[in-house]
């Protein structure tokens, strides 16, 4: 299995709200449909406070459902915070210190019984989890290759190249970029940005997911989201990754 800590992939974004959960959940379901036992993890989820006062990590629950896992949600999402803030900030406001070693322990637990593990971050790779410990440090600790989810609209060239540059400087393998259309309006920028990124880097562009009606990460959208990802992404890149990690 080469030198990977586990067979898997880490899904990050250039920003928050770029569609990491939708893409990650779709990929998990596709791998599950191929007969693989897929482990999923959302190390930290913020904004979990519901209107009824309960704490529900909606993204983590969606990933769990898409992968068909029976693991406890507390294992999949070890840290769950009420406020929609950066994990380090949300934790400090609740008096909780995020422990990287504990996250690694949970990652190994999930990996033990999985053919492939899909981990989703929060925001981008420089979002802090603790003092001087960012998601990029966690990615290196997990020793997983990186898939970047990026918005296709104006501004994405800078955000995408910055994410790529930091990852590469830190020795993190980047296996691809997925573009997500967040606006129904087609612009010259949204039509040209994927080609520009492709011409400026050697990182594969897995595809461009077109704008879709608002889909909250909920289980009853499983088939819709799975088909969306299957139709618009070049999944040979994913298959090659799975094979290369054996």
* E runs forming strands in 76-171: 79-80, 116-120, 128-130, 133-134, 146-151
42 flagged as catalytic: yes
Domain count, the chain: 1
What is the percent of the chain where pLDDT is above 70? 95
The token pair at 133 is 């410990």
pTM summary value = 0.93
- H-run or E-run covering 194: helix 188-200
* Mean pLDDT, rounded, for 63-83: 96
Domain-embedded: residue 137: yes
Choice among 42, 61, 64, 106 that is catalytic: 42
Task: Please report, for the chain, how many H helices and E strands are present, in that order.
Answer: 10, 10
Range of the domain at 176: 8-115+122-240
- pLDDT-derived band at 1, boundaries 50, 70, 90: very low
Q: Is residue 188 part of a domain?
A: yes
Say which CATH number the domain at 184 has: 3.40.50.300
């Amino acid at each position: 299995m080469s030198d990977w800590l586990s067979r898997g992939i880490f899904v990050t974004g250039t920003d928050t709200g770029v569609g990491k959960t939708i893409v990650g959940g779709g990929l998990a379901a596709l791998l599950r449909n191929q007969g693989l036992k897929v482990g999923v993890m959302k190390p930290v989820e913020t904004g979990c406070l519901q209107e009824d006062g309960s704490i529900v990590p909606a993204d983590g629950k969606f990933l769990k459902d898409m992968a068909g896992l029976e693991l406890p949600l507390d294992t999949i999402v070890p840290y769950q915070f009420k406020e929609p803030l950066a994990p380090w900030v949300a934790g400090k406001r609740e008096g909780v210190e995020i422990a990287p070693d504990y996250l690694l322990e949970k990652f190994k637990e999930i990996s033990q019984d999985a053919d492939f593990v899909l981990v989703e971050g929060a925001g981008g790779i420089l979002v802090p989890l603790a003092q001087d410990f960012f998601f990029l440090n966690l990615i290196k600790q997990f020793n997983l290759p990186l898939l970047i989810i990026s918005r296709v609209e104006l501004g994405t060239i800078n955000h995408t190249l910055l994410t790529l540059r930091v990852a590469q400087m830190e020795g993190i393998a980047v296996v691809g970029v997925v573009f997500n259309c967040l606006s129904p309006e087609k612009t010259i920028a949204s039509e040209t940005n994927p080609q520009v990124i492709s011409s400026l880097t050697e990182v594969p562009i897995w595809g461009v997911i077109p704008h879709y009606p608002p889909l909250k990460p909920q289980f009853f959208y499983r088939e819709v989201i799975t088909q969306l990802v299957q139709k618009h992404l070049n999944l040979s890149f994913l298959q090659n990754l799975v094979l290369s990690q054996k």
